[in-house]
Amino acid sequence: MRHIISVLVENEFGVLARVAGLFSARGFNIESLCVAETLDPTLSIMTIVTTGNEFILEQILKQLNKLINVIKVVDFKDIDYVSREMILVKVAAENEKREEILRLTEIFRGSIVDVSPKTYTVMITGDEEKIKAFLNLIKPFGIKELVRTGPIAIPRGDKAMKIKEKKGEDHG
């Protein structure tokens, strides 16, 4: 089963390596990993997509919570959330193909971010199904290169990843 996990961490050197090392050391696979700082530049959120059964997920969550630079771990399993990913795809676009690629890009609310005499680079954002549908339609034109972010996720509505203060933390 596929799981999306958000991990709020201190934005410090080596934290990413420790989280990735935890997965590697225990044989857990990371399908995708997106990291960026939050509104507070001292904190970052990692969005990790992994697979495994309930036992494996429980082990991952427990191990993540033990890491010293990890502030909060959220499993989106039982949370209503919004998820998006982004792709940049370089597609062969010569003469007669250019109009059709432009039309497909507009239908999927994407944009052409680079143009050459023989290629377009298209950016598409959306959920996994939208990305798959676009790639299936564009594939016959000849995909030259593809990069993607993997999903990022945020709870719907007014729910937010709140930070609980650690016991015994000095606030003076």
Question: Has residue 109 got a pLDDT over 90?
Answer: yes
Say if pTM beats, i.e. exceeds, 0.95.
Answer: no
Query: In which band, very low, low, confident or very high, does the pLDDT at 163 lie, cut at 50, 70 and 90?
Result: low
Mean of the pLDDT values across residues 2-20? Answer: 93
21 pLDDT higher than 80: yes
Q: Residue 56 has what pLDDT? A: 87
Q: Is the pLDDT of residue 168 over 60?
A: no
pLDDT at 64 over 90: yes
* Predicted confidence (pLDDT) per residue in 125-154, tens digit: 999 999 999 999 999 999 999 999 999 999
- HEC per residue, the chain: CEEEEEEEEECCCCHHHHHHHHHHHCCCCEEEEEEEECCCCCEEEEEEEEECCHHHHHHHHHHHHHCCCEEEEEEHHHCCEEEEEEEEEEEECCCCHHHHHHHHHHHCCCEEEEECCCEEEEEEEECHHHHHHHHHHHHHHCEEEEEECCCEEEECCCCCCCCCCCCCCCCC
Give the whole-number percent of the chain exceeding pLDDT 70.
94
